[in-house]
Structure 1
């Protein structure tokens, strides 16, 4: 998986599939859990989840790879939770997790302003404050088990440059299981993370 923070790219061209959902659904946690998005890679692999980001089914995942196309689908990355450190305003947690007892924590859906489908690319727009938004787009490389996640930070017109840099922290949820199955935590199963400059390698 490749993560591209604040990379400028051409927006997808509009077509008949464009749609947009506003805060009436995005900030209603139950409605957000009931609505889903998905993208595919043409091999049988895909990325999918609930609109607000929580994984509510075993089939949800940010990178579900078809290791013997179009079968043998394995979930390799479930999701990424984002936190933003906003100078003077503390840390904003944009992720959403639903626990067995119904607890929702963190409650990042409260920042989700809109969800839109730009051609076939899901776009999540988070309202960080009255002047600033963070857009997240997710798509897959055709015929490759690769998911791209792009983040774009924008300020309202006429508000000028940001006074201080922001810190975006990404927390990936990694695992390795068949997409029909479920797993639980195991103290004896560890993932090894290796820093490779502007990349990282994760081994199970």
Structure 2
């Protein structure tokens, strides 16, 4: 089993140089770095093959994650921008392991949040599981999906063609920002949802 402790996970250069890869058996995959920062256009939580095993498109880039504590929200994500790192969630990362799937453990005070990611074999489906330990009362976890909907080999930029509508149903969301591409369906156990379409710029 491959595993890194806090000293390695909190070394941004090291943790960003270590990459992981999960595949779905159809030509699709998820990939990224130990730190959570994306350093390649191929990094993302769900890249699906539209004509298996080819025509790969990145649909879900990642989830931005926040724990809402009495003192305010705590960022757990890490993003690299030109001349800046924001947020700096890697500083709270105390363990990464392939168990056998990518598993991150974050420390926030006495709390421990574990995140696991895996792909469903034979299906363009990614599953993310979160469990919190050490909390005496419920602690809200906010996740914000960063969508890509682009060819895996190309980048995309802000454009006027994006359809910001989100279809909401019991325990599920559906995003279809561009005509001609399949919708992304998200199943969740959240108590609340707020639609807010923003562009993330490099």
Residues 1-204 of structure 1 aligned to structure 2 (within 5 Å): 18-87=1-70, 89-99=71-81, 101-119=82-100, 121-129=101-109, 131-155=110-134, 162=136, 164-204=137-177
Q: So what's the TM-score if we normalise by structure 1?
A: 0.83
State the aligned residue count: 177
Which residue of structure 1 lines up, in the alignment, with residue 199 of structure 2? none
> What is the CA distance between 1:102 and its match in structure 2?
2.7
For 2:120 and 2:153, locate their aligned partners in 1 and report how far apart those are by CA, in whole Å: 23
Unaligned runs of 5+ in 1: 1-17, 156-160
CA RMSD of aligned residues (A): 1.3
Which portions of structure 1, spanning 4 or more consecutive aligned residues, are displaced by more than 3 angstroms?
none
- 1:77 CA drift (Å): 0.5
Q: CA deviation at 1:69?
A: 0.7
Higher-RCO chain (CA-CA 8 Å, sequence separation at least 6): 1
- Partner SS state of residue 48, structure 2: strand
**How far apart, CA to CA, are the structure 1 residues paired with 2:156 and 2:128?**
25
Deviations along 1:125-167, one digit per CA (max 9) or x if unpaired, are 00011x2100000001101000000001112xxxxx61x3211
CA shift, 1:177, in A, is 0.8
Name the SS for the 1:33 alignment partner: helix
Can you give the 5+ residue segments of structure 2 that lack an aligned partner in the other structure?
178-202
